Amino acid sequence: MPNNHHAANDLADQSTDIPQVGLAIITGSANWGLAFPEDVEVDGVRTLRRDMSFETPFGPSDNWKLLEFDASITVEGKTKRALCMYSHGNPRDHIDHSCHRRAFWVLMKAGVRQVLACSTVGAVNKAIQPGDMVINADIIELSQTPFSLLPGRQSFDCSGKQIVCPRSAAFLAETARRHWPAECRVHGIEQQLVAAHCYGPRLTTPAEALAYRSMGADVLNHSIAPEATLSREIGACFVPLAFVTAGFNDYMDRDRQKLLQEDVLPSLSMTASRVALETAARLPANPACSCQGLKSRQPAERSIRF
Ligand SMILES: [Zn+2]
């Protein structure tokens, strides 16, 4: 079981090396096969440092990059920096779902207020096709993230409402619609689509896909729940950039051994990566939205008196 007993302050001194940035980009299967952002040709984006590691109360967090967006491409006309981590590859040598808690501890100490997370999804809504991009509005997380970062047991309330930032989603959709292939669609947050979370690495079985579909899911995602929930816990806006690599019929065909539509990912990973970087550049540094207020401090007497 994850150990929640460490106080985040125990290693406060070890956070001094963490760059202070407002923005984080979490990369994943949407960027597979690419060195992000080095292989993505977006003018004005450069990698200041790579292979950065930080100590956290839960162990080391590796493979961080520090990115810089030139003043010429940011909405404020000022240089800004972002932390970037490849979540599907962290750590590099084994599967460890608790890596998200270490990563978001780093982002909390960095002062991050906006998180853009890239991934691929499977669609269990028949109208959503491979190649489509989906900015879902809600998530289903049956287990609730076991890797909470909230200090104290009852010090804070974290709302499940507006788990995806509508303001960031609007910037993302507008950027994506300028780049996405015309034969595919960009499903924006206004469609109120739902992403169910199921941890990988095993892909979803036909029975699981049907179960999530019957619960109201439109797409299935292996990484979104800890990313969305931990963003809420650190008081940051969260927006997912995901595209579809398997459709409903791909899940259901038990005679076909492959699930993923193999040709979708290589053609869209570069486009998705470009959309991620342009969106990151265009997100206002000071998010004027209501997401931060959805984490609220509980009255002191609830934790003092028991
Ligand atoms: Zn927001």
- Rounded to the nearest angstrom, the distance between the alpha carbon of 46 and the centre of ligand 1 is 26
Is residue 142's pLDDT more than 80? Answer: yes
pLDDT digits (tens, 9 = 90+) for 8-25: 444 444 556 999 999 999
Lowest mean pLDDT among 133-137, 243-247, 287-291: 287-291
- Rounded to the nearest angstrom, the distance between the alpha carbon of 166 and the centre of ligand 1 is 6
- Rounded to the nearest angstrom, the distance between the alpha carbon of 291 and the centre of ligand 1 is 4
Cβ within 8 Å of residue 76, ≥6 positions away = 284, 285
- Rounded to the nearest angstrom, the distance between the alpha carbon of 239 and the centre of ligand 1 is 8
pLDDT > 70 in the chain, percent? 92
- So where are the chain's domains? 8-304
- What is the pLDDT, as a whole number, of residue 96? 86
pLDDT digits (tens, 9 = 90+) for 253-277: 877 777 777 677 678 999 999 999 9
pLDDT digits (tens, 9 = 90+) for 65-87: 999 999 999 999 999 999 999 87
Q: How many helices (H) and strands (E) does the chain have?
A: 7, 13
Please tell me the CATH code under which domain 8-304 is placed: 3.40.50.1580
- What is the pLDDT, as a whole number, of residue 140? 97
- Rounded to the nearest angstrom, the distance between the alpha carbon of 297 and the centre of ligand 1 is 18
Cβ–Cβ < 8 Å for 241, 189: no
- Rounded to the nearest angstrom, the distance between the alpha carbon of 163 and the centre of ligand 1 is 9
- What is the pLDDT, as a whole number, of residue 29? 86
Compute the CA torsion angle 283, 289, 295, 297 (nearest 10 deg): 130
- Rounded to the nearest angstrom, the distance between the alpha carbon of 288 and the centre of ligand 1 is 7
Tell me the residue type at 60.
P
Is residue 5's pLDDT more than 50? Answer: no
Lowest mean pLDDT among 68-72, 133-137, 149-153, 248-252: 149-153
- Rounded to the nearest angstrom, the distance between the alpha carbon of 190 and the centre of ligand 1 is 15
- Rounded to the nearest angstrom, the distance between the alpha carbon of 232 and the centre of ligand 1 is 10
- What is the pLDDT, as a whole number, of residue 13? 45
- What is the pLDDT, as a whole number, of residue 299? 87
Q: pLDDT band at residue 182, thresholds of 50, 70 and 90?
A: very high
Q: pLDDT band at residue 28, thresholds of 50, 70 and 90?
A: confident
Q: Between 295 and 266, where is the model more confident? A: 295
Lowest mean pLDDT among 64-78, 108-122, 244-258: 244-258
Is residue 3's pLDDT more than 50? Answer: no
User: CA-CA distance, 15 to 213, in Å (whole number)?
Assistant: 42
Q: pLDDT band at residue 89, thresholds of 50, 70 and 90?
A: low
- Rounded to the nearest angstrom, the distance between the alpha carbon of 305 and the centre of ligand 1 is 33
